[in-house]
Structure 1
């Protein structure tokens, strides 16, 4: 059996990563592809992605027991990707992970053959999306836009611009996952 491939998706807040991943999840089931859920110290009803909500104490206990393949902190929350992805990869699955730009070096070290995917959008699109979701203050939005402007995609990354149709961005990612390497 061939080793699977990890697709490490990252990009700025407001670029539409969750929406693109949801589109791929809905349209890519027949392509031997699995989307990993993130474990987050955020309430389940907080909106956004379908994640596994954990208290900080439970998250730290799982981390101490080695139950995560990747962990990071951002925006005052703990994030983790479960070790189950290693099992999936060993069985030849194509695995999508909604990662973090800051945790990318850790991911690259643990999964050297991963394919990095950067989902981004124009500054104007991101600003409008962040304002519309209402979770960030104006100062938070300005800070996130500054991070977006300073970010350089890693060499070899698939860069998807999500300013237009969600179906176009999703189809671009799905095509990259399903074509032979």
Structure 2
């Protein structure tokens, strides 16, 4: 369910939500819907852990991540849950070409992202707590204590900068429904 459908701005869509909310699954489902005529790209994310098969990520060592950050190769970067995440500066070329670019971001980093890209459209993926708990356990990445901490964090609010266009997508139900909402929002043909 989408609670807001306006998606104006500079063509950058900043997808965020709690761990386990289904952001990677939504992005994978969106990529599967893209046709040759769609001027939409999903940016891969650099991360300091091994990427799993469901995400568009490139694994880097902490040293390599720091090196790329120092060289100015990252347009956006943040630290969360003991890991470093980043999105490469190639998104600026894609935006300059008039492409719509979707990045997998962090709720805590949203103010920094808006400072760099004031016209971005923020998309918050939410999920009911019981569904989130089941997804986190199914992933098998964390202990029960870590899952409890993620569930507590998921319920906390986050700062939305003044003037930031925020869209909510509830991903508690069928992935196809949420993916259809995301596709319509970003302007995928045939959605």
Is the pair's TM-score, using the shorter chain for normalization, greater than 0.5?
A: yes
Matches within 5 A, 1:77-156: 77-152=83-158, 154=160, 156=165
Q: What residue number does 1:68 align with?
A: 74
Task: Map Cα deviations across residues 38-76 of structure 1 (whole Å, 9 max, x no partner).
Answer: 0111124x4541311111111111100000000001111
CA-atom RMSD in angstroms:
1.6
Deviates more, 1:35-44 or 1:12-21: 35-44
Distance in 1 of aligned mates of 2:88 and 2:158: 27
Distance in 2 of aligned mates of 1:43 and 1:13: 16
Deviates more, 1:56-65 or 1:152-161: 152-161
Contact 1:4-1:90 at 8 Å conserved across structures: no
Of 31, 41, 64, 2:48 maps to: 41
TM-score, structure 2 as length reference: 0.87
After superposition, the Cα gap between the structure-2 partners of 1:72 and 1:152, relative to the gap in structure 1 and judged at 3 Å, is closer
Q: Structure 1 segments of 4 or more deviating over 4 A?
A: none
Q: What residue number does 1:52 align with?
A: 58
Of 7, 10, 13, 2:13 maps to: 7
Cα offset for 1:156? 3.3
TM-score, structure 1 as length reference: 0.92
Distance in 2 of aligned mates of 1:153 and 1:31: 32
Tell me whether 1:175 sits opposite 2:184 in the alignment.
yes
Cα offset for 1:153? 7.3
SS at match of 1:160: strand
More helix by share: 1
Q: Which runs of 5+ in 2 are unaligned?
A: 1-8
Contact 1:9-1:97 at 8 Å conserved across structures: yes
Q: How many residue pairs get matched?
A: 176
Task: Map Cα deviations across residues 70-111 of structure 1 (whole Å, 9 max, x no partner).
Answer: 000111111110000001001100000000111111100000
Tell me whether 1:162 sits opposite 2:171 in the alignment.
yes
Deviates more, 1:149-158 or 1:61-70: 149-158
Distance in 2 of aligned mates of 1:176 and 1:47: 25
Task: Map Cα deviations across residues 16-58 of structure 1 (whole Å, 9 max, x no partner).
Answer: 00000100111023320000000111124x4541311111111
Distance in 2 of aligned mates of 1:48 and 1:153: 28
Distance in 1 of aligned mates of 2:34 and 2:109: 26
